Amino acid sequence: GQNIDQPTEMTATEGAIVQINCTYQTSGFNGLFWYQQHAGEAPTFLSYNVLDGLEEKGRFSSFLSRSKGYSYLLLKELQMKDSASYLCAPMDSNYQLIWGAGTKLIIKP
């Protein structure tokens, strides 16, 4: 079957760094997306990894290891507005995104 595993909730301090881990099992693989979703809003795109390694985009970086079925999202210089849910979504062989429940990130001053 297809499965996503992320921590349900994480807490971090404003200005700090946090890493959100994701392990996945899919039928085939066509890349992995990270989305941010604020409460009551639709997801917004953060990153896409299809090859192994680290992709850096401003304060956010995403890492992928296809052999391990593992990805992480790294958020630096945390701001209060980063409080949201972060969704790891791998894409299977049918180009369908597989969604988990996401990780709720709480930022404290």
Partner 1 sequence: GAVVSQHPSWVICKSGTSVKIECRSLDFQATTMFWYRQFPKQSLMLMATSNEGSKATYEQGVEKDKFLINHASLTLSTLTVTSAHPEDSSFYICSASVGRDFHEQYFGPGTRLTVT
Between 32 and 78, name the residue whose CB sits nearer to partner 1: 32
Residue 28, C-beta contacts closer than 8 angstroms, at least 6 positions apart: 92, 93, 94
**CA-based nearest residue to 37, from 101, 108, 109:** 101
Between 45 and 53, name the residue whose CB sits nearer to partner 1: 45
**98 in helix, strand or coil?**
coil
Cβ of residue 17: shortest distance to partner 1, in angstroms?
A: 26
Between 16 and 50, name the residue whose CB sits nearer to partner 1: 50
Cβ of residue 72: shortest distance to partner 1, in angstroms?
A: 19
Cβ of residue 40: shortest distance to partner 1, in angstroms?
A: 8
Residues that bind partner 1 (CB under 8 A): 30-31, 33, 35, 40-45, 48, 87, 91, 95-97, 99-102
Inter-residue contact 100 to 4 (CB < 8 Å):
yes
Q: Where are the alpha helices (DSSP H) in 55-96?
A: none
